[in-house]
A and B are shown apart, each in its own frame.
Chain A
Amino acid sequence: MSLHPVLAALQHHLPAGCVLTDAEDLRPYECDGLSAYRRLPLAVVLPETIEQVRAILVTCTEHRVPVVARGAGTGLSGGALPVENGILLSMARFNRILEIDVPNRIARVQPGVTNLAISMAAEPYGLYYAPDPSSQIACSIGGNVAENAGGVHCLKYGLTTHNIQAIELLTMDGERLSLGGPALDAPGYDLLAVLTGSEGLLGVLTEVTVRLLPRPHTAQVVLAAFASVEAAGAAVTATIASGIVPAGLELLDNPAIRAVARFMDTGYPEDASAILLCELDGETEDVSGQLEQVCNVLRAAGSTSLQVSRSEAERLRFWAGRKAAFPAMGRLSPDYYCMDGTIPRRHLSRVLNEIGRLSGEYGLRICNVFHAGDGNLHPLILYDANQPGELERTEELGGRILELCVAVGGTITGEHGVGMEKLDQMCVQFNPAELEQFHAVKRAFDPHQLLNPGKAVPTLQRCAELGAMHVHHGQLPHPELERF
């Protein structure tokens, strides 16, 4: 087989060892956290300088070869899935923290730095980076920006888009752009917002400036049990209506509670139909006042038992069950499929009931563990890929759940992204004129459509691809990570 001309050009621009072409070297890059989709790229490139990244993009543009940028590869929607006959551009070697600017409460970092590393570097100054996706020990900040990653504390602290202040990027034709800055706003259009969550379709990040927040002095969790999921849902509404914005507000239904109980000792009441975990953080005086108020609200909402964490160890124990919920499902079922729809909270009971009904209709068990405070659902459909037809039924059920989310005024993805996975449902959420507006924005950045083609926004002609986060026999693509 003769060498693709782009490879010779790339080898010319990059040091030896920075261009991988052997199938066995490419294998680790064939998928991201959504392992149902696998593809080998033409080559993987591992540049070490921004000038090399620029050379790669210019070379690929000249040869009209597509490029997919990749951070840590922990994404859950196939956003970093390679493109056949394309180049996979790994930004893993850009892993330095460039500056912690304490007076301005920002950190300048390279895109391959992990989410958690930023908070660790800021810790000596009493600061941290707030968004905390479950994969935070491994996921890169570049990937967080590309996906607009969330986490458990979004309700109070927002998503990635609320917590970054500037980015440097290269467009596909090698132009360097600087968006935002150390000031709180910038002239011109808010392109920082457009790039955040653009799933690698508009540019390649080379630097990120994140906002740092003061570490809360105190954090405490209330664990409240309820006799029905409806009552727990109503308690979520009552808590927020009472004028408090908790740092986190999570719900587990009974199947999830029991799955966790089989996995570890968390102290969750196993007979409860649902539990809520409500975290409050901030200044000690504020937290104690809010705790009192939240306990009163939860009691009035019909909580059958209430526990307040009395120590940091107990707070972490309460959270441990929530964080172990996904691996616990892996023990309950050979495979599961994680959904990510968001709905207006007032429809929580209705949607959960309908999900229960669909579960019966399809003969597939569903557990619910989710960010109740933001209305961000993560129904887990349990299935067995070895049973003929079960995978297809699961994907169909998943699609119907997302369509239900859209029908009540919600969205098909709250924090995992569209990627390869939800292209079909994008056609449900957006009309052709809206999709065409997205494509027009894409062309303004990338006229030849070479960056991560075929992801995030479906073509009008073809709204037909489908996928899933498949977990086979409890084996997540990154088993070392907590998933929540």
Chain B
Amino acid sequence: MDQQALLIEQVQAAARARQAVQIQGGGTRSFYGRNATGTPLETGGHRGITSYTPSELVISARAGTPLAELQTVLAEQRQMLAFEPPRFGAATTLGGAIATGLSGPRRPWSGAARDFVLGVNCINGKGEYLRFGGQVMKNVAGYDLARMLTGSLGTLAVLLEVHLKVLPAPQREVTQYLECNAADSIRQCGAWTVQGLPITAACHLDGQFLLRLSGTDRGVAAAVQRIGGETLDASNRFWQQLRDQRLSFFSTRQPLWRLSLPPAAPLLPLEGSWLLDWGGALRWLTGTPASAGEVRQAAHLAGGHATLFRHGDRAGEIFQPLPPPLLALHRRLKQAFDPSGILNPGRMYADL
């Protein structure tokens, strides 16, 4: 199902007509970012794994490949996408995962989506077919535009194919849970990480601190001894539900804020329900009476930023506003990739 030629033709036609397009893979992330405008450009049909040799620790697939398919193929070889991209629905595609650049619970210890992107093939706003990076682990030829496209919400280029580094799945994973308050969970997670405990996920929710430990049988057993607490059954299910926002915490119709903060940042003085992921570096807030401005200001003062992840006003600012010189540079870069401004205009920032 190679639709590369068709997609290039469609982007070229849109560029000629100066007609905006909204890029659509599985459509499971349409809630994210600012409201989309323009004619749909369907990438979901451009799918299939194009290359996978497990011993290379590299997989290449077309952007429309469902994440579920990719993860099944990897699991058969006891490998994984270590950045644990969320799936917001069965149709979630690789292209959507990379375009949004979101990473799951393992991120602080294994790396983010951008860390595992080795290369991309894409179409810029002029309809040109371009390849950046490649299928090898180390590559410093040319600017690292593959990582820059990760998380750019389709505003710079249409992803066609992505080359990802994969990792062996851990021999063993165990989740321990302990009763503890949020502030202590942050301190404790930091201390255990510095001590070298093999933590690969840490979440605080409703007075419970959940920690996933990964490694060899011996290594995990030793860490469980050190940490104590109770062992959680069906551990994978919990982390998948957290990753995909299927825990009841997320089933709200109220604005859901994503705050990315320095891991050790103190608890913020904002009322509402909190869930801490990434050992405190990622904090979800909902049901807050605080205004958008107050949430962003609190995140900024703590050294981080806030995203209006779901619900609320999707025509307004979703992402933390950029300082004027940085926004001006973003505009020039948008111009460099997409001079007619046809790719997902306004999806990230109003005038990008």
- Which residues in A have some Cβ–Cβ distance to B below 8 Å? 101-106, 125-127, 147-148, 150, 154-155, 158-159, 161-162, 171, 175-179, 181-191, 193-194, 196-198, 202, 214-217, 237-238, 240-241, 243-245, 282-283, 285-286, 288-290, 342-346, 371, 374-376, 409-418, 422, 426, 429-430, 433-434, 437-438, 440-441, 443-445, 456-457
CA distance A285 to B224 in the complex (A): 12
B124 within 8 Å of A by Cβ? yes
Asked if A103 contacts B190 (CB within 8 A), the reply is: yes
B32 within 8 Å of A by Cβ? no
- Chain A residue at minimal CB-CB distance from B171: A243
Asked if A190 contacts B325 (CB within 8 A), the reply is: no
Asked if A194 contacts B168 (CB within 8 A), the reply is: no
Chain A residue contacts of B323, Cβ below 8 A = 178
Of B56, B124, B195, B330, which is in contact with the most chain A CB atoms at under 10 Å from its CB? Answer: B56
Chain B residue contacts of A127, Cβ below 8 A = 194
**What distance in Å separates the Cβ of A220 from its nearest Cβ neighbour in chain B?**
14
Name the one of B107, B137, B215, B326 contacting A342, with C-beta atoms under 8 angstroms: B137
- Chain B residue at minimal CB-CB distance from A430: B142
Asked if A244 contacts B168 (CB within 8 A), the reply is: yes
Asked if A413 contacts B147 (CB within 8 A), the reply is: no
Chain A residue contacts of B57, Cβ below 8 A = 240, 245
B78 within 8 Å of A by Cβ? yes
Give residues of chain B (320-335) contacting chain A, Cβ–Cβ below 8 Å.
320, 322-323, 325-326, 329-330, 332-333, 335
Q: A410-B136, A415-B138 are in contact. List 10 more A-B contacts (CB 8 A).
A: A101-B262, A103-B190, A105-B263, A126-B194, A188-B330, A189-B333, A198-B143, A374-B136, A414-B139, A437-B128
B16 within 8 Å of A by Cβ? no
Chain B residue contacts of A288, Cβ below 8 A = 218
Report if A289-B147 is in contact (Cβ < 8 Å); known contacts: A155-B137, A177-B326, A189-B330. Answer: no
Name the one of A183, A416, A429 contacting B305, with C-beta atoms under 8 angstroms: A183
Q: Which of B23-31, B109-117, B177-185, B284-292 contacts A (4 or more CB under 8 A)?
A: B109-117
CA distance A450 to B110 in the complex (A): 38
CA distance A155 to B260 in the complex (A): 28
- Which residues in B have some Cβ–Cβ distance to A below 8 Å? 53-58, 78, 101, 107-108, 111-112, 114-115, 124, 128-132, 134-145, 147-148, 150-152, 156, 167-169, 171, 187, 190, 193-198, 215-219, 221-223, 260-264, 278, 281-282, 303-305, 307, 319-320, 322-323, 325-326, 329-330, 332-333, 335-337, 348-349
Asked if A434 contacts B130 (CB within 8 A), the reply is: yes
Chain B residue contacts of A162, Cβ below 8 A = 111, 115
**What distance in Å separates the Cβ of B164 from its nearest Cβ neighbour in chain A?**
14
CA distance A126 to B193 in the complex (A): 11
Asked if A177 contacts B53 (CB within 8 A), the reply is: no
Asked if A344 contacts B58 (CB within 8 A), the reply is: yes
Report if A197-B140 is in contact (Cβ < 8 Å); known contacts: A184-B278, A289-B218. Answer: yes
Report if A440-B336 is in contact (Cβ < 8 Å); known contacts: A194-B144, A245-B168. Answer: yes
Offer 21 A-B interface pairs, CB within 8 angstroms, sorted by A.
Answer: A158-B115, A177-B325, A183-B281, A186-B260, A187-B307, A189-B330, A194-B143, A214-B195, A216-B196, A243-B168, A283-B198, A345-B55, A409-B135, A410-B136, A411-B136, A412-B141, A414-B138, A433-B128, A437-B124, A437-B128, A441-B143
**What distance in Å separates the Cβ of B279 from its nearest Cβ neighbour in chain A?**
10
CA distance A183 to B107 in the complex (A): 12
Chain A residue contacts of B216, Cβ below 8 A = 285-286, 289-290
